[in-house]
A = this chain, B = another copy of it.
Amino acid sequence: MDQKEYALIVAGGKGTRINSKLPKQFLALNGKPILLHTIEAFFNYSEKISLVLVLPQDDFGIWQSICKEFKFNKPIILQTGGDTRFQSVKNGLDKMEGEGLVAIHDGVRPLVSSDLIGASFRLAAVHGSAVAAVRLKESIRITDQDTTKAVDRSKFRLIQTPQTFDLQLIKNAHQAKEDASLTDDASVAEKAGHKISLFEGSYENIKITTPEDLVVAEALMKSKLV
């Protein structure tokens, strides 16, 4: 039997890196808020997905206005974010029960494709985890105080989302005490002793964190529409 599929969209960021009072997930990308593009990507993948959106309490009102303005009426579950990404994900997981798989995804990665989401669920069903990752296009160096040394870039992967897991596995992993090394859900699962499976992400699946990223995302989105 196919497992139940959840999506957990983390949109807790305060947008401090983009010069805008509006949190960055609400900025318009080709006329529509970034976050709405992201959420629609998951419903485009499957109308049956159970989606939990984690937002700072202060932003619930903005989200509701957006739903009204863009006539968005899919059934989603809103949850209050925490002070950190770790806490926000944990809050989101609290809304999910029983057996299943959960794709945890950044609210500011609106270019995620249905193929990528589908691949993450299929692989997580087999391996317990499926974390989107891409190879480095550029050389990489490791730095330590005032020294720097070339390292073999073929051994490294840049990590994206979705990061998809067996639901109970990632819920249990989030019982751990938070620490600064837990920069994503893969590291949380890894700390709990799970082996992490990577799969091929996409260079287009960018995270919008700067004004330049927004320009880039608009161009990529337009190039896909043509």
Contacts and interface: CB of A to CB of B under 8 A. Distances in A.
Interface of A is mostly: mixed
Given A158-B140, A181-B152, A216 B207 contact: no
Interface string A207-219: 1011010011011
Contact of A155 (B143, B152, B212): B143
Given A147-B195, A218-B219, A186 B139 contact: yes
B140 A186 contact: no
A216 to B, nearest CB: 5
Interface in A183-206: 183-184, 186-187, 190, 195-198, 203-204
B138 A207 contact: yes
A160 interface: yes
A159 B183 contact: no
B159 A141 contact: yes
A136 interface: yes
A115 interface: no
Given A216-B219, A219-B215, A141 B156 contact: yes
A142 interface: yes
A196 B141 contact: yes
B148 A157 contact: yes
Interface in A127-160: 133, 136-144, 147-153, 155-160
3 smallest A-B Cβ distances: which pairs? A219-B219, A139-B159, A150-B187
27 contacts: A136-B158, A138-B158, A138-B207, A139-B158, A139-B183, A139-B184, A140-B156, A140-B157, A140-B158, A141-B156, A141-B157, A141-B186, A142-B156, A143-B155, A144-B155, A148-B196, A150-B181, A150-B183, A150-B184, A150-B186, A150-B190, A151-B156, A152-B181, A203-B210, A203-B212, A215-B223, A216-B219
Interface of A: 133, 136-144, 147-153, 155-160, 181, 183-184, 186-187, 190, 195-198, 203-204, 207, 209-210, 212, 215-216, 218-220, 223
